Amino acid sequence: MKAHTYETQSTITPEKALEFLKEGNQRFVNNLKANRDLLEQVNATREGQWPFAVVLSCIDSRTSAELIFDQGLGDIFSIRIAGNFVNQDILGSMEFGCNVAGSKLIVVLGHTKCGALKGGLDAAQIEGLGMDNLNHLINHFSPIIDQVIEENEERSSKNSSLLERLNQQNVRNAIEEIRKQSSTLKKLEEEGKIKIVGANYDVETGAVTWL
């Protein structure tokens, strides 16, 4: 399988880009890999890159988008931050990926048993450790926790049901924020030039489900 060129990227629709990722995850789950010459892809992409998708995922070491979607060099833009949430810099990266570099798909990829979201649920204990920047990060999730937690429900990372609801709502909120905070990406989506979708990776099975 060769690296994408401008010509091949330009023929990919948002729907086809999504299909590429679905097929790639099926290969990953079945322990199959597309036949790639990575050195050839290095040579093919040294003058430029034409990725077909942008994937926002967590920094979790189990969630490398290139691996779980079985993609090669030059195929996807991979943006990673603990808890896969968006901010202005990440939105700028997405705008570059889609409006400048021609990607056709944005995927917000959450995952089960997310440590960042566990930190949000256990914020009181985490804050007691005195890590100012980590405290700032996990506080991003407080409004989303308020959305999904039920009355008298235990706010704890040990509450697996709450953690998974938080995971999926966090993905949905990120998609909403992309559309709300980036008029560029919203316009591209409305014109049918890109899709913005959410997904969830199961760290126990390797399977991706699409929200």
pLDDT tens-place string over residues 140-172: 999 999 999 999 999 999 999 999 999 999 999
Q: Assign residue 63 the CATH number of its domain.
A: 3.40.1050.10
> Residues annotated as binding site for Zn(2+)?
58, 60, 111, 114
Q: What is the mean pLDDT of residues 8-12?
A: 87
29 inside domain: yes
Of the pLDDT bands very low, low, confident and very high (cuts 50, 70, 90), residue 5 is: confident
Q: Please, what is the average pLDDT of the chain?
A: 93
> Residues annotated as binding site?
58, 60, 111, 114
Q: What is the mean pLDDT of residues 185-190?
A: 98
Q: Is pTM beyond 0.85 here?
A: yes
Tokens for 154, please give them.
């235990």
Q: Tally the domains of the chain.
A: 1
Of the pLDDT bands very low, low, confident and very high (cuts 50, 70, 90), residue 182 is: very high
With a pLDDT cut of 90, the percent of the chain lying above it is 81
Picking from 127, 146, 203, 211, the residue whose alpha carbon sits closest to that of residue 174 is 211
129 inside domain: no
81 inside domain: yes
Model pLDDT, residue 40: 77
99 inside domain: yes
The domain in which residue 27 lies consists of 6-112+171-210
Cα separation, 57 vs 64, whole angstroms = 8
160 inside domain: no
CB 86 within 8 A of CB 177: yes
CB 109 within 8 A of CB 120: no
166 inside domain: no
Q: Which pLDDT tens digit goes with each residue over 49-86?
A: 889 999 999 999 999 999 999 998 889 999 999 999 99
Q: What is the mean pLDDT of residues 109-120?
A: 97
